[in-house]
Amino acid sequence: MENTFILMDKMVNSVKVSADAGFVMHLRPVRRLFPHPCRVSAIGHIPEKRQWIDRVFPSINISFILQGEGLYTFRDRQWPVLAPCAITQWPGEPVRYGPHETWEELYVIYDADCVAELGHRRLVRPDRPVWYLRDGADLREGLHELQDLRQALDTPGCADRIDRLLERLTLESRLGEAHPEQDRRAAAVRALRAQVERDFLKPLNLPALAGEAGFSEVTFRRQWKRLVGVSPHHYMTRLRVRHACRLLVETHESVADIARACAFPDPLYFSRVFRQVAGMTATAYRRTHRLPE
């Protein structure tokens, strides 16, 4: 059982470079080779959203909240926004929402004529305008994929891939719905998870931090798994492997060096874990996903 979770400098820097910039992509005028009934009109990533939104949209939008908390009001009802979650804005319907301090948001805009098709696919529902996710790893991976696609937007078929990627992310978010309890234990687990994602340069002894929050180690691990969906150890392992994937694609470092940079001191153990999580060896992943130079 692993008590100390360490994220090394290179992994930290790769996260900050990708997360801090933000972006907007306008896709309405981009030609599709294989038209999709739910064409994405625009996408945006806001790493630290501070402003509140109080307006009526002409489009139907889905906002994925990756980090942070706030409030969302729709049809005179208010919901807590607790990352990771998704909120919906409907055409012609007033909404008000925003963070308590800041949150990280990935938003997707569809033209109003997509409402019927999105509803038919049960990807959006006016009676369920907010839904909570057990784990935000799929959203984070999708964000990284969007950042790569953004660099190739003029490539034929790129917009088709984005349409289908966003449909898949929405589907996965629906399949991974959770119903977090609004109590002290749930809030403490969310705070500890945020600390894991924030303090990349520090060794983190989560059981000790959980004890400071009033948990026994057994209770903490049970509550964490109930709310996050996987154990703390597996959650951190997935984070490490995901960032190893990025380093394999974006750098020329050796597999052994990447293993050490992602807190796997034993390259053989890294290779075994990487294959279990990614479905292929690290070398095969690099060969398959390396972008042309």
Would you give the distance in Å from CA 156 to the centre of its chain? Answer: 26
pLDDT grade, residue 138 (50/70/90)?
A: confident
**E-only strand ranges, 111-237:** 130-133, 177-178, 204-205
Residues 92-112: what's their mean pLDDT?
Answer: 94
Lowest mean pLDDT: which of 19-23, 102-106, 195-199, 254-258?
19-23
The band of 154, judged by pLDDT with boundaries at 50, 70 and 90, is confident
Q: What is the mean pLDDT of residues 239-251?
A: 89
- Give the model's confidence band at 164: pLDDT under 50 very low, under 70 low, under 90 confident, else very high: very high
Indicate the fold that domain 4-14+181-289 takes in CATH. Arc Repressor Mutant, subunit A (1.10.10)
Q: For the chain, which residues make up each domain, given as ranges?
A: 4-14+181-289, 31-178
DSSP string, 77-93: EEEEEESSEEEEE-BT-
Please give the model's pTM, rounded to 2 decimal places. Answer: 0.62
- Residue-level pLDDT at 179: 66
Please give the Cα distance from 18 to 110 (Å, whole number): 25
- Residue 162's pLDDT is what? 96
Q: What's the pLDDT band for 112 if we cut at 50, 70, 90?
A: very high
pLDDT, tens only, 52-79: 999 999 999 999 999 888 899 999 999 9
- The pLDDT value recorded for residue 181 is 53
275 CB-near residues (< 8 Å, 6+ apart) = 281, 282
Both tokens of 170, joined, read: 């929405």
Strands, E, within the chain: which ranges? 4-5, 23-26, 40-49, 53-56, 60-74, 77-82, 85-89, 94-110, 130-133, 177-178, 204-205
For domain 31-178, which architecture applies? Sandwich (2.60)
Calculate mean pLDDT across residues 164-173.
95
Question: Are 270 and 281 spatial neighbours (Cβ–Cβ below 8 Å)?
Answer: no
Q: How far apart are CA 131 and CA 84, in angstroms?
A: 9
Computed over every residue of the chain, the mean pLDDT equals 84
Read off the pLDDT of each residue in 156-182 and give the average, rounded to a whole number: 87
Res. 8: pLDDT tops 70: no
Q: Hey, CA dihedral for 53, 54, 58, 61, is it positive or negative?
A: positive
The CA dihedral of 110, 115, 121, 124, to the nearest 10 degrees, is 80
Q: Rounded to whole angstroms, how far apart are CA atoms 169 and 98?
A: 22
Query: Which of residues 243 and 291 earns the better pLDDT score?
Result: 243
What's the pLDDT tens digit per position in 81-99? 988 899 999 999 999 999 9
Distance between CA 69 and CA 142 in Å, rounded?
21
Which pLDDT belongs to residue 3? 37
State the pLDDT confidence band at 115, using cuts at 50, 70 and 90: very high
Q: Which residues pair with 107 in a beta bridge?
A: 44, 63
28 or 9: which leads in pLDDT: 28
Instruction: Tell me the residue type at 61.
Output: N
Q: pLDDT tens across 192-219, in order?
A: 887 777 765 466 788 888 888 888 888 8
Place of tokens 């294959």: 275
Query: CA 30, CA 45: separation in Å to the nearest integer?
Result: 19
Give the C-alpha distances (Å, rounded to integers) separating 99 from 49, 105, 195, 201.
Answer: 7, 10, 18, 26
